[in-house]
Amino acid sequence: MSHHEGTIVCPNCGFHATQNYCSQCGQETHLHKETFWGLVTHFIGHYFHYDSKFWQTMKALWFSPGKLTVAYWNKQRMRYIPPVSLYIFISAVYFLLAVSMPSKRKIINFTESKSNKDSIAMKVAPSAAKDSEFDQFVTSKFRKIEAKHGNYSEFLNEKITHNLPKIFFFMIPVMALILKLLFMRRKTTFFVDHAIFALHYHSLWFSVFLFEIFNFSPGVQPLLYGASFIIAAYYMIRAMHNVYNVKWGRAVLNTFVLGFSYAILLTVIMLIYLLLVVATI
């Protein structure tokens, strides 16, 4: 480090600092040669600091619906993991486990009928079954899939599973837009505020649905699915009440409207993606 009239040149960014920490980048200005023991203690301290912050964040996420969003809105951001980092971490864990431990539950399930052609046409576009040109196009595409990859249902489920992170990340601004429309009269709540709420809710959603990945017995699995959706709906009602300060009746109504709209848009997006996959075969 170089000194000039009581100032210190920060070794990290080159900014002229006058105290023990650089006001530009925050790094310590008085650094000495690191010893091995110092490296170990620094690592341990950093790990337990992050570990404490992680579990504090998860505790608030699981047991205090809306608390993380309110804290972020109030600029209390040092005690919790940032919403984007939290979402990326939990969604990454979810989809890594989903790929390594495939569930018995299928995202799409084509039922077999008299022919693959009838099944495919009715599932992809029910009104298109009468269109012979579309029928022939879809049939030829799915025959190519079966020739190259085997069972088309398993192939499409695998394709969608691998791209669900992208689909759900796209759904975050979609949820934020729905929330913006639901609370359009609130001039002090902006789109980005709703996006923070959507990030936290998707993080909760992935953490709850982690249990769906494991292959439980056939009798337990449906109960687990139902319980997961009930928990997610109850959590949304509580979060809506706590974050937006609405009465319980309004929170229930908004949750229903949000869930219904979200489900329709998600279905449309997944069908569009499915058609794009089939068309590019």
pLDDT score of 112 more than 60: no
Report pLDDT for 39: 62
Tens of pLDDT, residue by residue over 69-79, are 999 999 988 88
- pTM higher than 0.75: no
More confident residue, 115 or 213: 213
Most confident of 21-25, 43-47, 119-123, 255-259: 255-259
- Of the candidate ranges 32-36, 110-114, 247-251, the one whose mean pLDDT is the lowest: 110-114
Tens of pLDDT, residue by residue over 234-255, are 999 999 999 999 999 999 999 9
Q: CA dist 268 to 61, 151, 262, 264, 275, Å?
A: 29, 24, 10, 6, 11
Mean pLDDT of 37-63: 73
| Extents of the domains making up the chain | 1-31, 55-279
More confident residue, 93 or 17: 93
Closest by CA position to 258, among listed 180, 185, 190, 184: 180
**How many other CB atoms are found less than 10 A from the CB of residue 210?**
15
State residue 3 phi and psi, 5-degree precision.
-110, 140
Mean pLDDT of 91-103: 73
- H-run or E-run covering 163: helix 152-182
Report pLDDT for 154: 73
Which amino acid type is present at position 2?
A: S
Share of the chain above pLDDT 70, in %: 65
Report pLDDT for 157: 73
Tens of pLDDT, residue by residue over 123-174, are 544 444 455 676 666 677 767 777 676 676 777 777 777 777 788 888 999 9
SS3 243: helix
User: Cα separation of 241 and 251, whole Å?
Assistant: 6
The mean pLDDT of the chain is 77
